[in-house]
């Protein structure tokens, strides 16, 4: 199983969200979607993110835009830095991911990523989330009522606290088999290697002849 802790407010998470689905399907791995709040993670264990935003290193920031464009092109996605709202308050969108659960969450999260990172739409606004819900056949009234339920709010907090407790410091964070952690879209080649090694071990175990039972006579 691959656990994927994510917040739609990150462009690198958008890339990983798209890419991990293809990788998991290729290797027949199940995905456990774990919505979190990146801001909560930064506040707790990685406040340096805020300092780097306030005082960016110009060459590094310029290269980051090129790097993002290169990765987006490789993934076949359209990603651009929002010119009007960044960073964005994604709390209601992420509560929506929690409420919808695995089946409906993927198309919803995809639409949220596309709206913010492709269309410069402010996903903190009710009107934007309403339009996304309507396009996906989700009742907006039920959506907004449900994301304000304490159980949904608590689960988002619990997910965020959990990834911190397990060593995470941002989004996206992956875990393979609970303990093997990877951070960032650019770690996907390493995850592929893990899955390939596992596949090789499984294949080897399947083709080896069974050991003879203890005490049985060998065949001539």
Per CATH, the architecture of 2-189 is what?
A: 3-Layer(aba) Sandwich (3.40)
| Contacts of residue 155, Cβ cutoff 8 Å, sequence gap at least 6 | 98
Q: How confident is the model at residue 201 (pLDDT cuts 50, 70, 90)?
A: confident
DSSP strand pairing (2-6 vs 173-176): antiparallel
pLDDT at 212 over 70: no
Convert the pLDDT of each residue in 63-111 to its tens digit: 999 999 999 999 999 999 999 999 999 999 999 999 999 889 999 999 9
- Contact status, residue 45 vs residue 164, Cβ threshold 8 Å: yes
Q: Is 178 left (phi over 0), alpha (psi -120 to 50) or beta?
A: left
Query: Can you give the residue ranges of every domain in the chain?
Result: 2-189
Convert the pLDDT of each residue in 140-197 to its tens digit: 999 999 999 999 999 999 999 999 999 999 999 999 999 999 999 999 999 999 999 9
pLDDT at 207 over 80: no
Q: Could you tell me which of 125, 130, 129 has the C-alpha nearest to residue 84?
A: 125
Between CA 73 and CA 69 the distance in angstroms is 6
Q: Could you tell me which of 166, 134, 10 has the C-alpha nearest to residue 142?
A: 134
DSSP states of 30-50 as a string?
-EEEEE--HHHHHHHH-THHH
Q: Is the pTM of this model over 0.75?
A: yes
């Amino acid at each position: 199983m691959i656990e994927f802790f994510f917040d739609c407010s990150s462009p690198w998470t958008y890339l990983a969200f798209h890419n991990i689905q293809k990788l998991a399907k290729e290797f027949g791995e199940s995905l456990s979607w774990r919505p979190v709040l990146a801001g909560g993670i930064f506040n707790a264990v990685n406040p340096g993110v805020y300092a780097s935003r306030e005082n960016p290193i110009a060459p590094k920031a310029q290269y980051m835009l090129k790097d993002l464009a290169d990765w987006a092109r490789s993934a076949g996605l359209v990603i651009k830095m929002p010119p009007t709202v960044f960073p964005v308050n994604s709390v209601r969108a992420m509560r929506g991911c929690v409420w919808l659960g695995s089946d409906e969450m993927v198309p919803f999260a995809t639409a949220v990523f596309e709206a913010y990172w492709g269309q410069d739409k402010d996903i903190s606004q009710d009107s934007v989330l309403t339009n996304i819900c309507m396009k996906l056949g989700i009742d907006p009234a039920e959506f907004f009522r449900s994301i304000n339920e304490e159980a949904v709010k608590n689960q988002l907090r619990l997910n965020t606290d959990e990834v911190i407790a397990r060593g995470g410091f941002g989004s996206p964070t992956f875990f393979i088999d609970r303990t093997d952690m990877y951070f960032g879209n650019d770690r996907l080649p390493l995850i592929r290697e893990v899955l390939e090694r596992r596949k090789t071990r499984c294949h080897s175990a399947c083709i080896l002849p069974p050991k003879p039972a203890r005490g049985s006579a060998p065949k001539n």
